Amino acid sequence: MRKVIGVFVLFVSLMIISGCGTTDKNSTTTNIDDSKWKDVEESGKLVVGTSGTLYPASYYPEGSDRITGYNVEVIREVAKRLGLESKFEIMSFDSKMAALQSGRVDVVMAGPRDESKEKFNFSEPFKYSYSTMIVRSEDHSGIESLEDLKGKVAGGAATTVYSDIARKYGAEVKTYGNATNDVYLRDVANGRTDVIINDYYLQSLALKAFPELDIELHPDLKFHPQTVSVVTPKEDQILADKIDETVKEMKNDGTLTKLSGEFFGGQDVSQEIKDDIKEIEGIE
């Protein structure tokens, strides 16, 4: 039985908004290798790379062996509408793109960067968000601006945009494996690290799970708007087109809004954010 604390691992890859072109999901595309789609269709399964410890995006509820979460239920519904079962492979963020490129999995869920857009297709985003910081409540860990990150220690994974932001402003990044969020949060609270930069929605939910810790979301800093999409290898264009069209259908018929409400306390993460969010030059 899998037993995972209902909290999230803070190394989600969420970057700038990007979408793919679409075709009718029942149509064929000329001059494109459709072998991947044929293989997936023949197998009847869509293999998905996901963390399994990322509450509320991808996690095992306490006492359950069935993976769930917003990302998981989105891709589960996509697969269902394409006539497929979904099979989930558990892996850390830092290994997801390599697993996708090697063919170990058919899709992952992440946000685009310029270099990744050259190798992968990104569907219509199914989640919009921005970055915030978790800091100590008593003094905001000495951080009142992004520039104050200089000399601080930030908890994160090696290859996320959040770690890129921390390094850009002079912070040292303390890296973790596929750890649950309590490890990250307790390190900030006890002073082993100073800050966690990550997704607003995920961090706000994580804090609710640990009210005893003297930490909080920074009240003044909102930056780096970002999205999450379904990702496929560049050469798998027919599979990508079918997924993209299905995600759009789910957005239009209200399915994404319904799923978001279930996992994000009634908030709709499937809609673009209208707040004034600071862009960071040089960070994708």
The least confident of 56-65, 109-118, 236-245, 253-262 is 109-118
Q: For residue 22, is it within any domain?
A: no
Domain total in the chain:
2
Distance, CA of 238 to CA of 214 (rounded, Å): 49
Q: For residue 10, is it within any domain?
A: no
**Nearest CA-CA partner of 210 in 179, 181, 174:** 181
Query: What Å distances lie between residue 151 and 57, 129, 143, 197, CA to CA?
Result: 31, 27, 11, 15
Decide: 197 and 156 in contact? Cβ < 8 Å: yes
- pLDDT at position 165 is 96
Same domain, 202 and 135: yes
What CATH number corresponds to the domain at position 203? Answer: 3.40.190.10
Q: End of a domain among 175, 205, 224?
A: 224
Same domain, 254 and 183: no
Mean pLDDT within 41-59: 93
Burial degree of 255 (CB within 10 A; 0-12, 13-18, 19+): buried
Distance, CA of 243 to CA of 266 (rounded, Å): 25
pLDDT tier for residue 22 given thresholds of 50, 70 and 90: very low
Distance, CA of 224 to CA of 199 (rounded, Å): 9
Q: For residue 214, is it within any domain?
A: yes
Higher per-residue pLDDT: 54 or 101: 101
Q: For residue 57, is it within any domain?
A: yes
Asked whether the predicted pLDDT for residue 161 surpasses 60, the reply is yes
Token pair, residue 148, equals: 């104050």
Decide: 169 and 149 in contact? Cβ < 8 Å: yes
Asked whether the predicted pLDDT for residue 278 surpasses 90, the reply is yes
Asked whether the predicted pLDDT for residue 28 surpasses 50, the reply is no
Same domain, 106 and 140: no
Same domain, 120 and 232: yes
Tell me, rounded to whole angstroms, the distance of Cα 90 from its chain centroid: 14
Q: For residue 79, is it within any domain?
A: yes
Report residue 128: phi and psi, to 5°. -120, 140
Same domain, 48 and 163: no
Q: For residue 276, is it within any domain?
A: no
- pLDDT at position 32 is 58
Same domain, 192 and 59: no
- pLDDT at position 33 is 63
pLDDT tier for residue 281 given thresholds of 50, 70 and 90: confident
Same domain, 157 and 204: yes
Distance, CA of 209 to CA of 239 (rounded, Å): 38
Mean pLDDT within 144-166: 93
Same domain, 119 and 240: yes
Q: Which helix (H) or strand (E) holds 161?
A: helix 161-168
- pLDDT at position 19 is 35
**86-91 contacts at long range (C-beta below 8 A, 24 or more positions apart):** 86/45, 86/46, 86/48, 87/45, 87/46, 87/47, 87/48, 88/48, 88/50, 88/52, 89/47, 89/48, 89/49, 89/50, 90/50, 90/51, 90/52, 91/49, 91/50, 91/51, 91/178
Q: For residue 281, is it within any domain?
A: no
Asked whether the predicted pLDDT for residue 31 surpasses 90, the reply is no
pLDDT tier for residue 112 given thresholds of 50, 70 and 90: confident
Q: For residue 167, is it within any domain?
A: yes
Mean of per-residue pLDDT scores for the chain? 87
Same domain, 240 and 167: no
Mean pLDDT within 77-105: 94
Structure confidence by residue, pLDDT tens digits, 207-228: 988 999 999 999 999 999 999 9
Give the structural domain span for 90: 35-127+227-263
pLDDT tier for residue 239 given thresholds of 50, 70 and 90: very high
Distance, CA of 263 to CA of 271 (rounded, Å): 15
Mean pLDDT within 10-30: 36
Same domain, 70 and 151: no
Same domain, 201 and 242: no
Same domain, 189 and 48: no
Verdict on whether the full-model pTM lies above 0.85: no
Decide: 265 and 202 in contact? Cβ < 8 Å: no
